[in-house]
């Protein structure tokens, strides 16, 4: 690879890709160049090391690692690079993603991973957090982040009547 994206998204399996759709959409919305790869920390550890070294050399500034089950991928990414790593726990097994969340969030001191929520919400927030980190040194991105916050703030609804919402009685 010769291109130089800003963000590298790595997931542990092709089966993880569908839930990451929101991550890619948000990165696109901010105009952040990204690339995605499928490299398992358990199944292809040497390939992961080679990839991170190559990505850094090409100018990748931040890594997003997404994995389910015993989700060591984000932590191994953080062991291979000094650049920020955001970990997305995925719901891939009997424990509903709590297994991946604990794996990602319980990093030893000195090897930090920023953990986001399980599944698609976390996938989107990984991209939003990446934008906020990169915006610290990117004025265009800082404007885009503030524009998103302003648009989101416009969604408040005052004086709603919950009894008029369909299906609320069943919840």
Contacts (CB under 6 A) with ligand RP5, residues 53-112: 67-69, 90, 92
Pick the closer one to ligand RP5 by CB: 52 or 67: 67
Q: Token pair 């358990």 is at which residue?
A: 42
Q: Which stretch binds ligand RP5 (CB under 6 A): 10-18, 28-36, 45-53, 142-150?
A: 10-18
Residue 118 CA to residue 101 CA, distance in Å, equals 7
CB 86 within 8 A of CB 64: yes
Pick the closer one to ligand RP5 by CB: 48 or 67: 67
Point out which residues pair with 71 in neighbouring strands.
none
CB of 91 to ligand RP5, least distance (A): 9
CB of 122 to ligand RP5, least distance (A): 13
Check binding of 16 to ligand RP5 (CB under 6 A): yes
Look at the alpha carbons of 32, 155, 20, 70 in this order and tell me if their dihedral is positive or negative: positive
Q: Which stretch binds ligand RP5 (CB under 6 A): 6-14, 79-87, 115-123, 129-137?
A: 6-14
Residue 111 CA to residue 145 CA, distance in Å, equals 27
Residue 35 CA to residue 52 CA, distance in Å, equals 12
Pick the closer one to ligand RP5 by CB: 11 or 26: 11
Size of residue set near ligand RP5 by CB under 6 A: 11
Contact residue for ligand RP5 among 7, 8, 12, 141 (CB under 6 A): 12
Helix segments in 8-106, DSSP class H? 21-30, 45-58, 73-80, 98-105
And the tokens for 26?
């948000």
Binding site for ligand RP5 (CB under 6 A): 11-13, 15-16, 40, 67-69, 90, 92
């Amino acid at each position: 690879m010769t291109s130089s994206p800003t963000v590298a998204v790595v997931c542990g399996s092709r089966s993880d890709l569908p839930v990451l759709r929101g991550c890619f959409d948000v990165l696109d919305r901010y105009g952040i160049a990204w690339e995605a790869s499928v490299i398992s920390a358990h199944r292809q550890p040497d390939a992961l090391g080679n990839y991170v070294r190559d990505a850094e050399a090409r100018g990748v500034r931040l890594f997003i690692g997404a994995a389910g089950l015993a989700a060591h991928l984000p932590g191994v990414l953080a062991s291979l690079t000094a650049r920020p790593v955001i970990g997305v726990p995925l719901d891939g097994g009997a424990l509903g993603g709590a297994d991946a969340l604990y794996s990602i969030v319980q990093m030893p001191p000195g090897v930090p991973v920023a953990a986001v929520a399980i599944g698609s919400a976390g996938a989107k927030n990984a991209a939003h957090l990446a934008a906020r980190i990169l915006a610290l040194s990117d004025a265009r991105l800082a404007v885009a982040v503030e524009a998103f916050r302003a648009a989101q703030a416009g969604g408040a609804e005052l004086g709603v009547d919950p009894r008029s919402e369909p299906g609320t009685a069943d919840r």
